[in-house]
A and B are shown apart, each in its own frame.
Chain A
Amino acid sequence: MYGTGLAKGLLLTLRHFVDSYVDDIRYGFRKYHHSTDNFAVRQGTKTKGVITVQYPDEKVAVPERFRFVPFLIVEDEDHPTRSGKDWCTSCGICAKVCPPQCIWIVRGNDPNTGRPVPEPEAFFIDIDICMNCGFCAEYCPFDAIKMDHDYELASYDRTTHHIHDKERLSKPNSYWRGIAPTRAYEEMLARGTWEHKDAAKEARRGASGARASAPQPAPQAEVAAPAAASEAAPPAEASAPPAPAAEGATPWSEDDAKREERRRKALERKARRAAKRGQ
């Protein structure tokens, strides 16, 4: 009959209208209450009806891999030996992989010898040009540049505010471990230490003589921290991540890292073989 298609469609819109109140009833009309407990459900796969978010009273926290204008990692203030030191060694790889070429780096030079030192003298990113691709973070061999989660960068004057210099770009290591605990953990595994690659190397060189006497702190305690954080409350608010355990020590020793690497490789090989057999 002419019109049945229309009527069916209208019934559907009616159902959508009713559905938009389902969540309200489910949460006792406290849908937009300032608690986060119902948010994940409201935004998840089971939800029905309205999914809008009341920005800025509530904001969707961005996932760990989210990428926005990059920042540079510097060592935390309370780091025993390297407080405030850049992780960046001014190797220039990020400037090379940057597609719109919005990174400018001045390599540091030792004033006495004139030879390059592994620290940038200046570092600029023009955020008007940055396309938030994340290549700089992906290809930095020292995990020194990371994509930020702070997307509220609007300003009134682009000519004065939109070129970020080193000071503006720098954020403490603990910030990164706060906004991306899982990724920071994965990077630590790949590096083999929570410390900067070079710092770890130095520490090993310095400690190699006294190695036997200085017991390595057990890595498990620290390693477990971010994994637990993935279940629990957001660490950025919870607390600053644990400070490095002991002076000059690497919480994750080289041997452990090698063992971990071997184990991972073996697992991968096994999985690959299994997949081949499955085919």
Chain B
Amino acid sequence: MDQPTLAPEKQLDATTVDEAIAYLRAEYADAVTLDDREGYGGVIVQSNRLVDVARAIRDDLGFDYLSSATAVDYLGAGDHLEMVYHAYRTSGGGSLVFKAQTDREQAEIPSLVPIWRGADFQEREAWDLMGIRFRGHPNLKRILMWEGFHGHPLRKDWREAYYEEDQKPFDNRWPGGQVYRVEERNVFGKNVTYPPDIDLGRLMDSSETAVYQSLGLGVDVERIMDKDGFETNELVVNMGPHHPSTHGVFRMVLTVDGETVTSLEPVMGYLHRNHEKIGERNTYLHNIPFTDRLDYISSMGNNHGYVLAVEQLMSLGRKYNPPTYRCEALRVMMVELSRIVNHLWAIGFWLNDIGAFFTPVLYFVQERERILDFFEAVAGSRMMCNYMRFGGLFGDLPERLKSVSNLTNDRVRDYNTMQFLTEMINERIPRTIDELERLLTQNEILLERSVGVGVLTREDAINYSAAGPLLRGSGVAYDIRRADPYSIYPELDFDIAVEDEGDMYARYRVRVAELRESVRILKQILPRLEATEGESIWADGKPGAYAPRVPHGEAYGRVENGKGELGYYVVSAGGRGGSANPWRYHVRAPSFINLTPMGIMSRGHKVADVVGILGSIDIVLGETDR
């Protein structure tokens, strides 16, 4: 594998995206064509030249960060599979989108892992769910499904076990809706096929073999090492899937030499529910509450990324009104509050992982409770907020955060909304952050456990497509709110938190600094809310339709979520009137991609540190497995 090099000082790496595309078309005239489908952008690259072009994009043009790599099945619309890559510059700016197409039957595309290690898991996912083989991928096996799984579930012609119809709404719900349980009609097994070599009587999962093989162990899980005449056994330890430190059902297979980790491979997919397939069956609106269930710690941010993507598509059409200023201010406020929730949670549970068992996390959770109470009173639910809509919101702030007694023993509360917010933002949250710092930042035990542990270098962080605090803890000042701004962030005054060390402690420091920056943003939002009091959250004064017109095209909406870059790649196959269901709906999940460098970060550390390193990445399995 060739080593990533930072782009040489050329004028080229300061070009605009259009100039970059022009350069590619000039340099690789035979391989690069413009993607001129209606509503699409970027270039289509001949797959045999893909690696060269990608290298030019990274080295010559300076697009050093591969944000997202995903596949689309164009069955019935060209009958090909397509890989879509979004590359960015860590210095900021828009995306260079390039695509490679391949036949559905013999799907094969060269792997970009030699250029961007961050493509590793994403290509494995594309192989797993779409069935594209990546020539030259070092470890091409399934990642979310098990190795013996039959078929590639995201292909358009694949049907899930409880399949009813291709698209919602289902016909039999109205007007002749006779209720039934899906499992009564469609008992498990009817839509499931198995590969011929599987013995259903003895369900053997061959993925285990594959995992151990990729660790270089063959089928034998033990290997005798001979070091300086001293005989040690290098052995395989499975941490998880049911392990309290893995933050959910997640597994790490490690080989250890004594207490020292020599290699590590994350194994995931235990919580996989094919979110993206569900998303393609859904209408655009249906997907909003489903995004809540990705990173369920920060559902506001999930909503935001998705509505941004769909709004991008809608803006291609004629009748589209962007959200009002008040709506944007409310969105930013909600998202920053959930960033605070996310970081308090992340720091708290990371401390659990490194031994400060539950005292700190419970202090922080108290503040989180207040914020969730606020979400509940405004959006209707504490965690599954389902608050944002295309072009607007579920509702404006209520005048009072008020409960009504209904059940026995109900105790009511009633606060003035703005007063509650002001007190939270000006007093309680800053006080908690101060406390957090007093409790932890100089704590000697914490320092010893975290300084110099789990180091991710700047180059690796970029090359492995790390995002969020993991990236900024490695000295890359890349925050989408500044690098590729959206909503009203450009007019807000805040700094990007960066630390250079790249270890666990640096990530902790970044999170604390981001907590403070979020408070700073919130303090600027409050006067904006007061100034826009009475303004509608909808551009035309009335709520949007439940079936918005979404014109033909593609869009990639991304936001800086608590855990890192959350992106939604949405393709609409709408005709003139628009379509009701997305053709493709892909989630670029920070919790998933941030695990790519987990192996190199853990190598050489102790088993107990692995737990801390995982905690310092901050994953949520709902988002990792999707």
Closest A-chain residue to B412, C-beta based?
A61
A181 to B380 alpha-carbon distance, docked (Å): 15
**Digit string of B534-545 for contact with A (CB within 8 Å is 1, else 0)?**
111000010100
**Which positions 120-137 of chain B face chain A at CB distance < 8 Å?**
none
* Known contacts A103-B173, A126-B179, A133-B386, A182 near B406 by CB under 8 Å: no
A107 to B445 alpha-carbon distance, docked (Å): 67
- Determine whether B533 belongs to the interface, using a CB cutoff of 8 Å to chain A: yes
Among listed A40-48, A75-83, A241-249, interface-contacting one: A40-48
- Determine whether A272 belongs to the interface, using a CB cutoff of 8 Å to chain B: yes
- Determine whether A271 belongs to the interface, using a CB cutoff of 8 Å to chain B: yes
* Known contacts A16-B363, A63-B402, A92 near B175 by CB under 8 Å: yes
A230 touches B402 (CB 8 A): yes
B420 touches A182 (CB 8 A): no
Closest A-chain residue to B325, C-beta based?
A275
A228 to B463 alpha-carbon distance, docked (Å): 61
B370 touches A45 (CB 8 A): yes
A267 touches B534 (CB 8 A): yes
A139 to B547 alpha-carbon distance, docked (Å): 11
Question: Quick one: which of A13, A45, A135, A152 contacts B424, CB cutoff 8 A?
Answer: A45
Closest A-chain residue to B326, C-beta based?
A275
Among listed B11-19, B196-204, B436-444, interface-contacting one: B436-444
Give the dominant DSSP class at A's interface.
mixed
In the assembled complex, how far is the CB of residue B585 from the closest CB belonging to chain A, in whole angstroms?
A: 13
Most chain A Cβ neighbours within 10 Å, of B290, B377, B412, B420: B412
Closest A-chain residue to B395, C-beta based?
A65
- Determine whether B193 belongs to the interface, using a CB cutoff of 8 Å to chain A: no
**Which positions 518-540 of chain B face chain A at CB distance < 8 Å?**
531-536
Q: Give the chain B neighbours of A147 by CB distance below 8 A.
A: 380
Most chain B Cβ neighbours within 10 Å, of A65, A103, A272: A65
A226 to B176 alpha-carbon distance, docked (Å): 38
In the assembled complex, how far is the CB of residue B292 from the closest CB belonging to chain A, in whole angstroms?
A: 8
Q: Give the chain A neighbours of B445 by CB distance below 8 A.
A: 6
Number of interface residues of A (CB under 8 A): 83
A9 touches B438 (CB 8 A): yes
A265 touches B384 (CB 8 A): no
- Determine whether B414 belongs to the interface, using a CB cutoff of 8 Å to chain A: yes
Q: Give the chain A neighbours of B289 by CB distance below 8 A.
A: 99, 131, 133, 135
* Known contacts A62-B406, A131-B289, A163 near B174 by CB under 8 Å: no
A67 touches B443 (CB 8 A): no
Q: Give the chain B neighbours of A66 by CB distance below 8 A.
A: 376, 380-381, 403
- Determine whether A278 belongs to the interface, using a CB cutoff of 8 Å to chain B: yes
Q: Give the chain A neighbours of B286 by CB distance below 8 A.
A: 97, 99, 135
Q: Give the chain B neighbours of A231 by CB distance below 8 A.
A: 414
Question: Quick one: which of A56, A90, A267 contacts B409, CB cutoff 8 A?
Answer: A56
B177 touches A104 (CB 8 A): yes
Question: Quick one: which of B177, B377, B404, B435 contacts A106, CB cutoff 8 A?
Answer: B177
**Digit string of A101-134 for contact with B (CB within 8 Å is 1, else 0)?**
1011111000000001000001010100001111
**Which positions 163-218 of chain A face chain B at CB distance < 8 Å?**
163, 178-182
In the assembled complex, how far is the CB of residue B161 from the closest CB belonging to chain A, in whole angstroms?
A: 15
A181 to B412 alpha-carbon distance, docked (Å): 14
Q: Give the chain A neighbours of B420 by CB distance below 8 A.
A: 44-45
Q: Give the chain B neighbours of A101 by CB distance below 8 A.
A: 164, 168-170, 173
Q: Give the chain B neighbours of A157 by CB distance below 8 A.
A: none
* Known contacts A5-B442, A179-B404, A235-B404, A62 near B376 by CB under 8 Å: yes
B413 touches A43 (CB 8 A): yes
- Determine whether B428 belongs to the interface, using a CB cutoff of 8 Å to chain A: yes
Question: Quick one: which of A59, A95, A270 contacts B410, CB cutoff 8 A?
Answer: A59
B175 touches A268 (CB 8 A): no
**Which positions 194-252 of chain B face chain A at CB distance < 8 Å?**
none
B398 touches A64 (CB 8 A): yes
Closest B-chain residue to A227, C-beta based?
B399
Most chain A Cβ neighbours within 10 Å, of B177, B290, B439: B177
- Determine whether B30 belongs to the interface, using a CB cutoff of 8 Å to chain A: no
A180 to B395 alpha-carbon distance, docked (Å): 15
Question: Quick one: which of A103, A106, A236 contacts B405, CB cutoff 8 A?
Answer: A236
- Determine whether B453 belongs to the interface, using a CB cutoff of 8 Å to chain A: no
B411 touches A36 (CB 8 A): yes
A234 to B403 alpha-carbon distance, docked (Å): 8
Q: Could you pull out 10 A-B pairs where Cβ atoms are within 8 angstroms?
A: A45-B423, A59-B407, A59-B408, A60-B411, A95-B174, A99-B287, A99-B289, A159-B181, A182-B400, A234-B410
Given contact pairs A62-B406, A99-B285, A101-B169, a sample of 5 additional A-B residue pairs in the complex whose CB atoms are under 8 Å apart = A6-B443, A9-B439, A56-B409, A97-B169, A274-B531
The 6 closest A-B pairs by CB, nearest first: A104-B177, A5-B442, A107-B175, A234-B405, A92-B174, A99-B286
Binding site for A on B (CB under 8 A): 164, 168-170, 172-179, 181, 282-283, 285-290, 324-326, 359, 363, 366, 369-370, 373, 376-381, 384, 386, 394-395, 398-415, 420, 423-424, 427-428, 435, 438-447, 531-536, 541, 543, 546-547
